Amino acid sequence: MSPAAEFIGVTQRFGDFTAVDAIDLEIPEGKLTTLLGPSGCGKTTSLRMLAGYSRPTSGTIRIHGVDSTTLPPEKRGLGMVFQSYALFPHLTVAENVGYGLKLRKLPRAAVQQKVEETLELVGLAHLHKSKPKKLSGGQQQRVALARAIAIRPRLLLLDEPLSNLDARLRVQMRTELRRIQAETGLTVVLVTHDQDEALEMSDLMVLMRGGKIMQTGTPREVFSRPANRFVADFLGYENFLTDQTHTFSTVRPEHLILGAASDGSAALRLDATVVSTAYRGVDLLVTLDAVDGAGETVRLLADVRAGDGAGLTPGTRTTVSAAAAHLVPIAA
Amino acid sequence: MRARPVAASLAVLGYIIMIVPILFVVVTAFSAGRTLRFPPQGFSLTWFEAAVTYDPFMESLVSSLYLAAGATVLALLLGVPATIAIHRGKIPGKGLIEGLFLSPLIVPELVVGLALYQQLMIGLGLDNLSTLLLGHTALLLPYAVRVTGASLALADPAVEEAARGLGAGPVRAFLTVTLPLLRPGLFSAALLGFVTSFNNVPLSLLLQDREFRTLPVTMLDYVQQSYNPRIAAMATLILAATVVVAVIAERTVGFARIFGGINQ
Ligand SMILES: Nc1ncnc2c1ncn2[C@@H]1O[C@H](COP(=O)(O)OP(=O)(O)OP(=O)(O)O)[C@@H](O)[C@H]1O
Ligand SMILES: [Mg+2]
């Protein structure tokens, strides 16, 4: 199937600052793609170019195979949910959701029916007469979503849709968004800086940094095989090692084994000294110093079960090891 | 809240300095005597009757209202598009343009008046009325630009973008979304502009002639010739009207929003 949208060598400059740097990306049809990366890496800028709110300095944006680089937003037929929700404060919930439908010159009864259906889908049917200001953050977010979905957009674009919600609601809404995506079959592009959110929700994950794409893949691919140190770091790999052959590799703290695990299967074995420990209830975070294969002293972080680390105090000498499957080679 | 005795006393002093003279005027307006004196002699409403039946006052009141309304409308018609261009447009030298629109706030009005007198009336031969209208419009432009600008700055630009994304062209998005959001700002700008024009003396003094006089100028002339409570009664009526307008404004928009707009 041809991609729902494509970025081809797309660059966005603001003055002499390059916010998005020659990115190439295909957004698969009917899937949920996340743009993930730290603040300022160009996620919003990319999304805004796709939506038509800003024009690339160079490059091409195709939507369903058609060059849409210079098409104004109102001609793109995309649904966008803004981080601030951007609801129309002077209109009721139903009027907000019906705004795009009215512009499509649908008969009034059809608009009303579509509005009701969409509010039903996001679970807000009972609030259709309220003004946005009267609603909670979570409800406003659903209205913004309903407003974007109501027009049956060719793509649904979400800019950090969950970041203004409280922690519990945010986790609930992940499932909710996935359900809505599955029910509607929409192609979704979601911007986030929360790796848990991206891992949980994505079909395709796109990691960005400094306006460039660092890695693209399914959550499993990206999480288990980070392409480089930045991606690994961003996804919570804390330990970076170099061996005699100057190959770089990384291990997650929870995959470092402390003490004697000498069954010979370990791909990594280093002598280490405990620097400090931090008790966190279920687990114990142990900071260690070790000398890696290249002869460099490295700071390591091991996440062990609280019970297993009982005897560890600063200065304790121990060994660290990791299974071959957990020692991930990365580009420098 | 912590007590701040110095600030509180200053505030009270400020109110006293502002309000006491006004009270004197109001009280004298109800005098039954023939001169403007405090305490007033007796109580009567005769001077109010004298004020509203005095033709120069009433004629100039009508002139002032027309002038204020006209200048307000013109200032908004010029200032609002300019504000939108300044805040939302991609034009170079935004700061300079905004400065230009705000400059009447800092240039002394007498200087503006004199410049208009020389250039428009002497130079171009415009009549008093048009020159006054232009002068007042310039005077009000800062309010139009500042107050609507403040409400525009408070409005989330993403709201208009959302409308565009849903299929509205630029004009429709402006009319159906941005304009309704600007309404309180426009209302405040109009109100402040109207009051500013209505109360203006320096410009009107310089640009007046026998046919077209504003109320404040007429009242100024009046005190120079006759010193009786008619002037106090007229001032009290204006004060009462202003209070009514202020109450309506407070009910519909709220002072916090009106004056919050200026202090941005
Ligand atoms: N209109 C603009 N003018 C100048 N610089 C801009 C503009 N828009 C974005 N930038 C800059 O471009 C960079 C990328 O911005 P962008 O908003 O795309 O980041 P982001 O990945 O969405 O970050 P965040 O997670 O903070 O939202 C930032 O450094 C930002 O300051
Ligand atoms: Mg962003």
3-state secondary structure A107-158: CHHHHHHHHHHHHHHCCCHHHCCCCHHHCCHHHHHHHHHHHHHHCCCCCEEE
Q: Do A80 and B180 touch (CB under 8 A)?
A: no
ipTM of predicted assembly, 2 dp: 0.84
Please check whether residue A304 is in contact with residue A283, taking contact to mean a CB–CB distance below 8 angstroms: yes
Of A210, A230, A250, which marks where a domain is finished? A230
Same domain? A241 vs A177: no
Same domain? A101 vs A177: yes
- Alpha-carbon distances of A100 from A150, A155, B31, B48, B165, rounded to whole Å: 8, 15, 65, 58, 9
Q: Do B162 and A90 touch (CB under 8 A)?
A: no
- Please report residues of A whose CB lies closer than 8 A to that of B166: 74, 79, 99-100, 103, 147-148, 151
Domain boundaries, chain B: 5-263
Same domain? A213 vs A285: no
Ligand 1 touching residue A54 (CB < 6 A): no
Query: Which one-letter DSSP state was computed for residue B48?
Result: H
Same domain? A172 vs A255: no
Same domain? A245 vs A139: no
Q: Do B165 and A72 touch (CB under 8 A)?
A: no
- B101 has pLDDT over 90: no
What's the confidence (pLDDT) of residue B264?
Answer: 35
What's the confidence (pLDDT) of residue A117?
Answer: 92
Distance of CA B95 from the midpoint of ligand 1 (Å): 23
Same domain? A93 vs A9: yes
Interface A–B counts its CB contacts (< 8 A) at 65
Same domain? A31 vs A108: yes
Give residue A281's domain range: 237-329
Q: 């259906």: which residue's tokens?
A: A117
* Residue A264's pLDDT band (cuts 50, 70, 90): low
Same domain? A202 vs A122: yes
Distance of CA A41 from the midpoint of ligand 2 (Å): 8
Rounded CA-CA distance A325/A187 in Å is 34
* Residue B261's pLDDT band (cuts 50, 70, 90): very low
Of A202, A230, A258, which marks where a domain is finished? A230
Strand partners, A13: A18
What's the confidence (pLDDT) of residue A262?
Answer: 59
- A88 has pLDDT over 90: yes
- B221 has pLDDT over 50: yes
Give the gap in angstroms from C-alpha B253 to the nearest C-alpha of chain A. 14
Ligand 1 touching residue A19 (CB < 6 A): yes
Ligand 1 touching residue A45 (CB < 6 A): yes
- The CATH number linked to A55 is 3.40.50.300
- A204-209: strand order across its sheet: A79-81, A156-159, A188-192, A32-36, A204-209, A212-217
Same domain? A145 vs A217: yes
Question: What digits encode the pLDDT tens for the residues A109-165?
Answer: 999 999 999 999 888 888 888 999 999 988 999 999 999 999 999 999 999 988 888
Ligand nearest to the CA of A211: 1
Phi-psi region of B43 (alpha: psi -120 to 50; beta: other; left: phi over 0): beta
Phi-psi region of A67 (alpha: psi -120 to 50; beta: other; left: phi over 0): beta
What's the confidence (pLDDT) of residue A193?
Answer: 92
Distance of CA A18 from the midpoint of ligand 1 (Å): 10
Q: 């240039």: which residue's tokens?
A: B107
Give the gap in angstroms from C-alpha A149 to the nearest C-alpha of chain B. 10
CATH 3.40.47.10 fits B5-263, yes or no: no
Q: Do A73 and B180 touch (CB under 8 A)?
A: no
Mean per-residue pLDDT for B162-176? Answer: 93
Of A72, A86, A100, the CB nearest to B158: A86
Ligand 1 touching residue A14 (CB < 6 A): yes
* Residue B262's pLDDT band (cuts 50, 70, 90): very low
Give the gap in angstroms from C-alpha A4 to the nearest C-alpha of chain B. 17
What's the confidence (pLDDT) of residue B39?
Answer: 80
Same domain? A260 vs A283: yes
Residue B161, chain A, CB below 8 Å: the answer is: yes
Q: 């002869």: which residue's tokens?
A: A295
Distance of CA A223 from the midpoint of ligand 2 (Å): 23
Q: Do B166 and A82 touch (CB under 8 A)?
A: no
Give the gap in angstroms from C-alpha A12 to the nearest C-alpha of chain B. 16
Question: What digits encode the pLDDT tens for the residues B177-217?
Answer: 988 888 888 888 888 889 889 988 888 888 877 778 899 99
- Please report residues of B whose CB lies closer than 8 A to that of A84: 156, 158
For residue A268, the SS3 value is: strand
Of A205, A230, A255, which marks where a domain is finished? A230
* Residue A68's pLDDT band (cuts 50, 70, 90): very high
Same domain? A84 vs A220: yes
